[in-house]
Amino acid sequence: MFGREGRLVLVNGQYRPVVPAAPGRAQRWRLVNGCTSRVLAVRLEGHTLQQIAQDGTFLPSPAPRQQLVLAPGNRADVVVQPDRAGRFTLIADPYDRGSGMGGAPASTGPVPLATLVVDGPAAVAPALPATLPAEPPPASATATRSTSFRMGMGGMRGGRGDAMPMSFTVDGRAYDPDRDDQIVAAGTVEEWTVTNTGPLAHPFHLHVWPFTVVAASDGRPPLGVPQDVVLVPPGGWVRLRIPFTTHTGRSVYHCHILDHEDAGMMATITVR
């Protein structure tokens, strides 16, 4: 129900690798949450992560983060500037993904991911640029649309005692690649409200057309730049602005918890 989480979290295929660094020398890390279900709330002991990009596009300016929350599929570029020698653990803190239908909480951790080992002669860290080449978000939308992630309770089938599987759907329908779920007129900018009717957070991922988050029901401040995965809080919603101005064609959107997607929490979108 929560999506399977592996026993180990690997970094570049390695278990708790060492990342060498020199004091004062900046490193750019491209963090990708490639986990099937786990939300990674990442922090580096003794350091502030300077986030410069999300899902491959620049933020307007470097944003200092004590902790960076990455849903499965999310990416972030961060600059790490160690200012002293020492060993510092990169940690994924427990993150509350909500709960399952029976109320069991979905949270694990903390998980040590890697160790930054800083030693050697000190260098002077260059200053980060004050502004970054961020794409401006679309100013307004010309159409609205709603869609919802739904998780249904399993149960016993009428008297025969067969267990019915839980259902994972978009708008109550399991994925059918031959069905058109959303048809969008090419050239429009749409505002989508993506709701989550269940008690567990689902990461929404739209292929092909990046979106800018306008607001979220949990009050998270939007990043204000295009991204392609956003966590929809339990019993909540996110509002997205999506320019369908670059490509026509057919694609999909889905929950980025792979077990949910595989069970049917995916839908088609056709832009024409």
Residues in touch with Cu ion (CB under 5 A): 202, 255, 257, 260
- Report the nearest approach of Cu ion to the CB of residue 105 (Å): 16
Q: Could you tell me the smallest distance in angstroms from the CB atom of residue 82 to Cu ion? A: 36
- Residue closer to Cu ion by CB (options 41, 231) is 231
- State which residue, 49 or 151, has the beta carbon closest to Cu ion: 151
Output 144 or 146, the one with its CB closest to Cu ion: 146
What's the CA gap between 210 and 261, in Å, rounded? 19
Closest distance between Cu ion and the C-beta of residue 261, in Å?
A: 7
Shortest Cβ distance from residue 55 to Cu ion (Å)?
A: 18
Residue nearer to Cu ion on the CB measure, 210 or 264: 264
Assigned token pair, 64: 């200092």
Residue 170 beta carbon to Cu ion: minimum distance, rounded to whole angstroms: 10
Token digits for 127?
Answer: 């200053």
Residues ≥6 apart with Cβ < 8 Å to 97: 2, 39, 106, 107, 200, 201, 234
What does each C-alpha distance from 198 to 121, 178, 210, 257, 271 come to in angstroms? 53, 26, 25, 14, 29
Report the alpha-carbon distance of residue 156 to residue 112 in Å, rounded.
Answer: 41
Given the complex with Cu ion, which of 38 and 202 has the nearer CB atom? 202
For 17-43, b/e burial (b = at least 16 CB within 10 A) is eebebebbbbeebebebebbbbbbbbb
Q: Which is nearer to Cu ion, 27 or 147 (CB)?
A: 147
Q: What is the CA radius of gyration of the chain?
A: 20
